[in-house]
Each structure stands twice: as C-alpha cells, then as structure tokens.
Amino acid sequence: MTPSAKAKPTEVVDREAMADLVEAIAARQDKSAFAELFEYYAPRVKGYLLRLGAADASAEEIAQDVMLTVWRKAGTFDRTQASVSTWLFRIARNRRIDLLRRESRAPLDPEEPMLQPAAEPQPDDALSASEREVRVREAVLELPPEQAELLHMAFFDGKSHREIAEASGVALGTVKSRLRLAFVKLRRALGEDL
Amino acid sequence: MATHLLPSDLLYAYAAGHCAPAMRLLISTQMQLCDETARRVEELEALGGALLERVEPTAMSEGALETVLARLDASPAETSGSTAANDDDVEAFPAPLREAAREALKTASWRFAGPGIRTLTLPVDGHAKAELLRIQPGSGAPRHGHKGAEITLVVRGAFRDETGVYGAGDVSVASPDVEHRPIAEPGETCYALAVTDAPLAFTGALGWIQRAVQA
C-alpha cells in the first residue's frame, strides 16, 4: 500500500497548536485560525468519507459541512477532555450517520471472534482524558501501515473480517489475528488488563 | 445473561458510527449516566481521532475554503431547541433522550401497557426500536424480545428482574429465550429505555451482540 505521490506526507500534527486554533475561533471568530484547521482537517475528513463509499461530490459537501460545524461549535471544545482530532472525528462520525443513514445489515457471521467481555471498571487512578489521548495516539502512530489500514477498515469502514480479507487479499485468519493484535497493543498502551 | 455494563462490541459500534439509531440513543444516554461507559467510549473515540490523523488526505475542490468562509458569515447563531415541554419528568432526562422524548410527545402520548406501566415509542430510523418505559414502584410486566435481545437502560429509579437490580445508568441485556420481567423497586418512578431487535443493528469485524446475549 504505497502512498500516492500527490498525498502529503504524514504530518505529525501539533495537537496543542490545533487546540489553540479552535480556541481562537471560539474566543474571537478568528478566520485565519479556521483556515489553518481547514487546510489540515478538511482533506482528511474527505478521505474518511470517501473510504465509507461516499461519492466525491457527497464527500466534498459533507466535509465542508463538518468544517462549518467546527466553526459553529468551537465554543464547545474543551482541550482537557479530548484532542481536536477526537472532537472533530465525533463531528464527522455524527454527520456521516445523519447524512448517509448507513445501517449495517450484513448477515451475522458465526465466525466473528472479536468479542470482548465487558471490561472491569477501572480503578480510581485511571488515566485522565488527556493522558489517554496521548497514549492512544502514540499507539496508533506506531502501528505499521498495514495494521493501521486494517483498523481503518474495521473501525472506520465497518467492514467484516471477511470483507477486509477480500479487499486486502490477506488471509482471513491473518486479518483476525492482526486486528486482535492491534487492539491488544491499544489496551496495553492504556494500561488495561487483557 | 445479565450485565450492568454493555459489552465492548456495542461501544465499538457506537464510537465508530455503525450503530442503529435506537442503540445510539441508548448509548449516548448511558454515557451521561455512567462514567465508566463514558470513559470506554471516549477511549474509542480517541482511537477515531488518532486514525483520522492517519487517513490519506484527499484534496478538497478548488475554492472550497472560500465557499466555506462565505458560509461562516451566513451561518445562523446556535439556538437552543424549542422548549415545548409537556412532561416535567422528561425534562430531567439526559439530553439525547430528552430530545427524543420531546419529539415523541409532539405527536404521541404515554400509552397504557398494564397496571402501573406506560410506554412511549420513540421515533428512530432503522431496524431496531426504542421505547421508553415508565413503571410505578411494585409494577412490572413481562417483556419478550421478538427477533433478538432486548437491551434496557435504567434512566431513573431502579428495577429488579430475574438477574438482579438495576439502577440509573445500568443496562440489562435480556436474551430472547428468557422471559424478562422488570419490576420497579420501591421509591421513585422507574424510567427505562428499551431497545429491541438489537442483534440486527450490528455487524462488522468488531463483533456483534448475539453471542454476548447467549453466553
């Protein structure tokens, strides 16, 4: 899976700077701050929507709507609770549900093994929201590209194991074990028992 | 099988946006009542944020930024929803549920469903159904899942069923082959949100609820 020559190289975004930009919008309707956010996030939100199968025109329109929502709701962003990326992901996810009205109805596959039991409630010294953000992000950044792509397909696209195997040409068993591994890494990063 | 928390698979589906609307309503409401659920969902949303940073960017159309900038000025101020409230208890619900109940009460009212029991069907798109239950202390009625499990979130008060006692923020997952009979505990009126046909609401590599229910 080689990156296209036209795509920007993966930038490691400065999350503090992004949070400053959103706060600038909330505080004084700062349009140049908005333009910076737009430049980084709009193409990624569009990329996310295209993954979900939206046509180019819809993805474009929804991505613009999401950025408009960022402007309108900048006052609700709380940097102690989530990163801008997480906050924006929520907005994009909710818009996608509203506008694409996607509801999975694939037949249930008895081979799906990704069942997790309900987690034990975490002790009082559980991570703060910002620590959690940092750890999750590091864990995701460390994933090799093919594992990140698997997570994109499972988490973002909602593909079943079988669909992922077909789309990627990877054996079904390998898909399952790699996904399991990715989640194990995530749980470890969060300091949770497995 | 009883659990006071939802299995992770449901929370994955919610966090990723693959949930049926009825289940989304239940989980978003539970997040406001139960810190543990909020924490688990927020972890997954943090995953969504980190994955968003790794998505291959696709260039927006030319002039997209200017188009949006022009819309910023025209964009109306955020207004709070109309407060046509005709049910004081509903007003105290967590926001997602309050909005859905207000919407339902515009065209429907609480229906008699047995002594001490009323129900309000909530308008949700899609396959799964959402119903608000209002049960007076000591009252209760058998509920059957039809094609699948019924997942019930207690919003206020508490009920007891064959598997235990559930208070605000707890969920009871009832499998279709067991008669589920919640009886409201003494004290305040019990309000609960019941989502049915839940297993058909989920799919994907991140699992589905039916197994959890039959465990």
CA distance B157 to chain A (A): 22
d(Cα B186, Cα A61) in Å, to the nearest integer?
A: 52
* Between residues A42 and A3, the one the model is more confident about: A42
Q: Which pLDDT score, from 0 to 100, does residue B198 have?
A: 52
In this complex, do B43 and A85 lie within 8 Å of one another by their Cβ atoms?
no
- Look at residue A30 and tell me whether its pLDDT is greater than 90: yes
Residue of A nearest to B127 (CA): A103
How confident is the model over B89-136, as pLDDT tens digits? 888 899 999 999 999 999 999 999 889 999 999 998 877 889 999 999
How confident is the model over B28-78, as pLDDT tens digits? 999 999 988 998 899 999 999 999 999 999 999 999 999 999 998 876 545
Sort out which chain A residues have CB atoms less than 8 A from B59's CB and list them: 6, 43, 46
Q: Which pLDDT score, from 0 to 100, does residue A112 have?
A: 37
Tell me which residue in B40, B54, B206 faces A119 most closely, judged by beta carbons: B40
pTM of the model: 0.80
Tell me which residue in A8, A106, A113 faces B57 most closely, judged by beta carbons: A8
Tell me which residue in B20, B60, B210 faces A42 most closely, judged by beta carbons: B60
d(Cα B68, Cα A38) in Å, to the nearest integer?
A: 9
Quick one: which of B107, B174, B87, B55 has its CA closest to B97?
B87
How confident is the model over A106-147, as pLDDT tens digits? 333 333 333 344 445 555 556 788 888 999 999 999 888 888
What 3-state class would DSSP assign to B209? Answer: helix
CA distance B115 to chain A (A): 35
CA distance A173 to chain B (A): 12
Q: Which pLDDT score, from 0 to 100, does residue A127 have?
A: 78
Q: Which pLDDT score, from 0 to 100, does residue A52 have?
A: 83
Q: Which pLDDT score, from 0 to 100, does residue B12 have?
A: 86
| pLDDT mean across residues, chain B | 81
Tell whether A68 is within 8 A of chain B (Cβ): yes
* Between residues B9 and A56, the one the model is more confident about: A56
* Between residues B1 and B181, the one the model is more confident about: B181
Q: Which pLDDT score, from 0 to 100, does residue B86 have?
A: 54
- Look at residue B143 and tell me whether its pLDDT is greater than 80: no
Q: Which two tokens stand for residue A167?
A: 């789309």
In this complex, do B56 and A47 lie within 8 Å of one another by their Cβ atoms?
yes
pLDDT > 70: what percent of chain A? 78
Q: Which pLDDT score, from 0 to 100, does residue B178 have?
A: 67
Entry field: residues in chain A: 194
